[in-house]
Structure 1
Amino acid sequence: MASYDRLRADGTPRPLKAGDTWWYAAVAGEAAGSFSTRVRIRTRRACLAAVLLLTVVYAGLVLTATGRRWGDAALTGRRADTAAATVLREHPSLGGLTTLSLVAGCLLLLAVGLLRKRYALTVAVGGALVTALAVTGLLQRYAPRPRLVDSAGALLPSGFPSAQTTLAVGTALGLALLVPYRHRGLALLLGILWSSTVGGYTVAAGEHRPGDVIAAVLVVLAVYCGLLTVLARRGKVRPAPRGPLALGLLVAVPLAALAAAGLAAGVWLLGDALSLPAAAPYDPEELRIAHRCGQALATGVTAAAGLVLLLLVRRVDVDGAPAPYRLGGPFVEAAGVQYDDDAVGPFTPDRDHEIS
């Protein structure tokens, strides 16, 4: 087999040998154990896992009475949470700033792709973002759920999943794929912090329940894992050099700490939040606990999604440069052609060849 089929443990290919030819590079991505195959397998599994978790969240928080009661309590508890209520009251412009930041994030995503001249990858990332928004809209419109009405008897629109969170998390993960590989971790960390803030604001402002934010994160993660699977299937991934360990820890440790703290706090508070009585009136303290539990879980899931993507694309460059090849083979070597770094194809420069 050629030297492109399997990489060394440190990510560098073996030295080229006589007889290595360009057509091996074409099939290397499909060889068992190749780099592209390994990336495709793990991203496909992550996509299926995200879809499974989304199904569990939908069944637990939308279809069950306990889940709906917890979501309603978390939504109502924003008024009992004096800290969140004070911030929203003293800063009424936060809603406009959130919308402005979403627009700026989309423009930044487009600008980075165009400035780096990664047109195909920019189109792919934009398509993934549009797909995530389309899936969100379809779930909001057609996913079966109990009919919810307000005090006046009007039917309430569904907010499952949250479109704002889908756009924010999709922009953050898309930027992580479009920026240069050495800046991916920092871009992902900043993007996750920003998208967590957007999701937390939608819950604190009463626009969405915590389950809506969690579902949006899982939708985006599933779509982007599917995108990476397609890129690996088409041979658009390649090994990236090992970066400084300190830089990797600088990104991975805060994401892991935020995910662990958010999930742990949310699960710890969830026991008290699920013990709400089946009917009103509710204790304001119980409502406040339900709200903070939802905020913690939403933040933890968002950070965990960023950490999962960071691990999936660890030492994976998605710029899609072609695999290296060289002139080789018995016919070319017999012709006495010297090795040329700029040579293209398996034939001699004088093109004096025949296919029979």
Structure 2
Amino acid sequence: MASNDRPRTGGSPRPLRAGDTWWYAAVAGEAAGSFTTRVRTRARRGCLGAVLLLTVVYAGLVLTATGRRWGDAATTGRRADTAAAALLRDHPSLAGLTTLSLVLGCVLLLAVGLIGRRYVLTGLAAGGVVTALALTGLLRLYAPRPRLTGTGALLPSGFPSAQTALALGVALGLALVVPHRLRAPAVGAATLWAAAVGAYTVADGRHRPGDVIAAALLVLAVFCGILALRARKGEVRPAPRRLPAPAALLVLLPLVLVAAGGLAAGIWLLGDTLALPATAPYDPAELRLAHRCGQALAAGVTATAGIVLLLLLRHVDVDGPPPPYRLGGPFAEAAGAPEDEELVGPFTEDLDHEIS
């Protein structure tokens, strides 16, 4: 026995068997190039990137006078946008339908997870939604922001948007509770619904576009953190590499178009809308342009959040531990294990050792 080896206190709880070597599974899961390490690294980078972008949005749209002026113009411009104003005027029931859809979305998330007997993943998804809402409430209460301007009080600030956080939280939570083969169409359709909820809150004047953008980034950061913790515990495994089903393409194509078109149009219009004069009166055409720019950016960022999580979970199954690491090669041969019989591990004489 080497000087740095020692017997395990109490002995091994069970002998190592072929395909059931927990010690080697742990070592393989922590290797630098292992599957779980790659998933954890990608999820951690996604979480940090979302937090960084959230900080930039907060600093640019809340703390700066230009950002606040643009947000106020985008909110006020909803009255100058005749199409949005006519839609809200002709369909006053949209407010109740939005609230009802949020309730049904939460029920659907829990029902899918419980029917599929994914109790742990359902708890994680529900915990992610609750965490996102809790962080949203804390930011709305305690995040520093200016209260007054030279002309009086600002519009009530709703940074970030609780409705968007709840809707997108349900959408991204489906990525945990839905089976891998149905993940793309389910998350894609739910993300489109979340983008519609955010667009409605902006058109109705409840939130500024920056509130919706911040909520989307916050939810993305929360679920990337959950995925990183799941991978850190070794509870992810490779999924079969299959081509997307036609049903998935029917949902993912509109999602990609909303993300790309919203970001492109919003960034293109942003340069013109940021040049608003410092004081009123404003041109109604400029207000309408600011409103449409904010709608495009809010929808684009919300759709992009869903796409980012789907890319992080590409070929990743979050249901259960990774497949067991099968001991073989020179270690097994040196151990003298006969074929088709249980392996005795890498030690040739004594099974009850560990590396200190």
The normalised TM-score by structure 2 is 0.85
Deviates more, 1:153-162 or 1:74-83: 153-162
1:32: which partner in 2?
32
Matched letter for residue 74 of structure 2:
A
Distance 1:305 1:277, change over 3 A: same
Structure 1 CA distance for aligned equivalents of residues 18 and 174 of structure 2:
41
User: Contact 2:344–2:351 at 8 Å: present in 1 too?
Assistant: no
User: Contact 1:44–1:225 at 8 Å: present in 2 too?
Assistant: yes
Structure-to-structure mapping, 1:248-327, within 5 angstroms: 249-324=249-324
Structure 2 CA distance for aligned equivalents of residues 154 and 262 of structure 1:
31
User: Contact 1:149–1:156 at 8 Å: present in 2 too?
Assistant: no
1:209: which partner in 2?
208
User: Contact 2:21–2:327 at 8 Å: present in 1 too?
Assistant: yes
What per-residue deviation string (whole Å, max 9, x for no partner) do you get for residues 297-324 of structure 1?
Answer: 0011011111111110000000024533
2:114: which partner in 1?
114
Deviates more, 1:301-310 or 1:209-218: 301-310
Structure-to-structure mapping, 1:39-50, within 5 angstroms: 39-50=39-50
Distance 1:313 1:192, change over 3 A: same
User: Contact 2:236–2:316 at 8 Å: present in 1 too?
Assistant: yes
Q: Sequence identity of aligned pairs in percent?
A: 70
1:80: which partner in 2?
80
Distance 1:336 1:97, change over 3 A: same
Distance 1:154 1:262, change over 3 A: closer
Structure 2 CA distance for aligned equivalents of residues 30 and 354 of structure 1:
23
Note if 1:174 corresponds to 2:173: yes
Instruction: Give the SS at the match of 1:280.
Output: coil
Structure 2: gaps spanning 5 or more residues: 1-16
1:134: which partner in 2?
134
Distance 1:77 1:339, change over 3 A: farther
User: Contact 1:75–1:209 at 8 Å: present in 2 too?
Assistant: yes
Distance 1:128 1:18, change over 3 A: closer
Matched letter for residue 128 of structure 1:
G
* Cα shift at 1:128: 1.1
Structure 1 CA distance for aligned equivalents of residues 341 and 95 of structure 2:
62
Distance 1:18 1:252, change over 3 A: same
* Cα shift at 1:31: 1.1
* Cα shift at 1:255: 2.6
Cα RMSD for the two superposed structures:
2.8
Structure 2 CA distance for aligned equivalents of residues 19 and 71 of structure 1:
59
* Cα shift at 1:158: 2.5
Structure 2 CA distance for aligned equivalents of residues 89 and 32 of structure 1:
58
* Cα shift at 1:336: 6.6
Matched letter for residue 62 of structure 2:
V
* Cα shift at 1:207: 0.2
Structure 1: gaps spanning 5 or more residues: 1-16, 348-352
Structure 2 CA distance for aligned equivalents of residues 52 and 105 of structure 1:
29
User: Contact 2:174–2:187 at 8 Å: present in 1 too?
Assistant: yes
User: Contact 1:327–1:346 at 8 Å: present in 2 too?
Assistant: no
User: Contact 1:150–1:156 at 8 Å: present in 2 too?
Assistant: no
2:217: which partner in 1?
218
User: Contact 2:337–2:344 at 8 Å: present in 1 too?
Assistant: no
Structure 1 CA distance for aligned equivalents of residues 341 and 96 of structure 2:
61
User: Contact 2:234–2:321 at 8 Å: present in 1 too?
Assistant: no
2:9: which partner in 1?
none
User: Contact 2:171–2:190 at 8 Å: present in 1 too?
Assistant: yes
Instruction: Give the SS at the match of 2:50.
Output: helix
* Cα shift at 1:27: 2.5
Instruction: Give the SS at the match of 2:63.
Output: coil
Structure 1 CA distance for aligned equivalents of residues 218 and 344 of structure 2:
45
Distance 1:282 1:25, change over 3 A: same
Structure 2 CA distance for aligned equivalents of residues 186 and 25 of structure 1:
33
Structure 2 CA distance for aligned equivalents of residues 19 and 126 of structure 1:
34
* Cα shift at 1:25: 1.2
* Cα shift at 1:253: 3.6
Distance 1:210 1:335, change over 3 A: closer
1:55: which partner in 2?
55
* Cα shift at 1:148: 4.2
Structure 1 CA distance for aligned equivalents of residues 217 and 125 of structure 2:
17
Structure 2 CA distance for aligned equivalents of residues 259 and 181 of structure 1:
23
Structure 2 CA distance for aligned equivalents of residues 162 and 127 of structure 1:
18
Structure 2 CA distance for aligned equivalents of residues 155 and 296 of structure 1:
23
Structure 2 CA distance for aligned equivalents of residues 327 and 32 of structure 1:
19
* Cα shift at 1:249: 4.9
1:160: which partner in 2?
159
Aligned residues: 330
Matched letter for residue 45 of structure 2:
R
2:229: which partner in 1?
230
Structure 2 CA distance for aligned equivalents of residues 180 and 25 of structure 1:
24
Structure 2 CA distance for aligned equivalents of residues 95 and 112 of structure 1:
26
Structure 2 CA distance for aligned equivalents of residues 131 and 150 of structure 1:
36
Structure 2 CA distance for aligned equivalents of residues 120 and 311 of structure 1:
23
